[in-house]
Amino acid sequence: MFRSDLPSWTPSRPPAQLSRRSLLRGIGGGLVGATLLGSTPLLSACGGSSGGGDAKELTFWNFYGPNPDGNPQSKWFVDLVDQWNKNNDVKIKLHYLPVTEYLGGTALQTAFSSGKGPDIFIISPGDFLRYYNGKVLTDLTPHLGGDAISDFTDGVLDTRKVNGKVYGLPMEVEPLAMYYSVDAFERAGLSEADLPKTWDALLDVAGKLTNPKRFGVMFETAPGYYQNFTWYPFMWMGGGSAIPENGKPGFNTEAVHKALGFWQDAVKSGAAPKKTKAEGGGNLPAHLGAGYCAMQQSGIWSVSQMETDAKNVKYGVFPLPVPAGGTYTTDLGGWAFVANAKGGNPEAAAKFIAWALGSTDADGVERMRQWNTVVKTNIPARKSVRDAATKAGAFEKPALKVFMEQVAPGGRGEPRYTPEVYKAVSDALQATMLNGADPAGAAADAAGKIDTFVKGYKGASIL
């Protein structure tokens, strides 16, 4: 976990016009439900495509490209691999899977369980421990120079490291914020002066924006890693935690009760829906852009979504509201490349990742500037890339300026929890938000499961 020292910023809208949050929602829904929740590490016995060796062609599974629609994000991946293949004997072959299969299905987990996992793939911090504890991840550190490691912003590698070694390189940083419809505010007689800064104010404003055709505010409702990801900041703002740490109690605290109660109150009041549209709560055009809600929690990736899918909709961005007596924070997500330690050629896979995302030469910096601010809207995970993007005026757009100057400061890295911790939190959130369960009772139930698990846990540190 880390506090961002970035001047400002927020996860992503994956393949061409797919949101990172739609992706994470898939992770938590189908993928997690099918494979993450077992108590036995599913990957502990996997072997790679050839058991680890010197294969001359490596597979790179991803949900970006080559996408049949040839969108800019897909093209970036295709160009990346083409450039590598022109200059290296070991070739990379992209294997594209729609997000519904990669994150919402079981394709990746089934491949690993059968000993045929990809040589290179993409994961979020939320999935890190499952793969690391399953002994699947390759140490990338030997292929990263000191200048490359130091170029990553403070703390951004923390949830990808174990004992000082780097096992995943992040492509981006993605903070969460609140978006609002300018038109909805004006029609309700509201202005920027009414943008809510507290939880109570958000519920009040949401009530004023609610009408028979539109909800006043929307949070993710589908169970999954994405829903947890979007809820964690509300837990953190009051000093809460999912696990016992530093001598402090874990999930069964007043801060957690209030955070669960806040989302529950939004739904009970009728200001927030019990169900999002099929695209999920991370897709802004499908909800706020279509008039389904007047305010919506989402990430920085939604800026590029709106430019592509709802360019005529006027919207604004403001930081997540804070509870009485709380401290502002937001969740900082982002995807990372990882190499299969039991793949056909782990060393070559690690070299590719280090080159693709960690190169500090001019080409490497420009490659990542293009990814973070041209084909997508993210905060660069590297200082040199952030500087290049700033010089190019990438963060002068009003929405991105708010992310950089108001949203990102004080942010905290997306946590890496085990499937057991994730599931207990998810169950509590679903029970309270959608089924009317008492927040204190749901938190106590979840805390019992989490605390029991943590006492016997022997994997890498839970952050």
Lowest-confidence pick of 33-42, 81-90, 247-256, 303-312? 33-42
pLDDT at 257 over 80: yes
CA dihedral 24, 27, 28, 30 (to 10 degrees): 140
Spatial contact of 64 and 139, defined as CB atoms under 8 Å apart:
no
pTM, two decimal places: 0.89
C-alpha distances in Å from residue 198, one per residue of 18, 174, 323, 327, 404: 31, 22, 6, 11, 20
Per-residue pLDDT reduced to its tens digit, 337-378: 999 999 999 999 999 999 999 999 999 999 999 999 999 999
Hey, is 67 helix, strand or coil?
coil
Give the mean pLDDT of 301-326.
96
DSSP state of 78: H
Tell the residue number behind the tokens 């919207």, with chain if given.
Answer: 315
Q: Does the pLDDT value for residue 34 go beyond 50?
A: no
The pLDDT assigned to 246 comes to 77
- For residue range 174-206, what is the model confidence (pLDDT) as tens digits? 999 999 999 999 999 999 999 999 999 999 999
Does residue 22 carry a pLDDT above 70?
no
Q: Are 421 and 450 in contact (CB under 8 A)?
A: yes
Cα–Cα nearest to 404, from 174, 68, 192, 237: 174
Q: Show the DSSP H helices in 223-361 as ranges.
A: 225-237, 254-268, 301-309, 346-358
Angstrom distance (rounded) from CA 421 to CA 449: 8
Q: Are 453 and 418 in contact (CB under 8 A)?
A: yes
pLDDT tens per residue, range 47-83: 444 456 899 999 999 999 999 999 999 999 999 999 9
CA 160/CA 132 separation, integer angstroms: 9
With cut-offs at 50, 70 and 90, classify the pLDDT of residue 38. very low
Residue 51's pLDDT is: 56
Question: What is the reported pLDDT for 197?
Answer: 98
Paired residues of 92 in beta bridges: 58
288-299 per-residue burial string, b: 16 or more CB within 10 A, e: under 16: bbbebbbbbbbb
Q: Which domains does the chain show, CATH number per domain?
A: 20-173+334-396 (3.40.190.10), 174-332+416-456 (3.40.190.10)
Q: What's the length of the chain?
A: 463
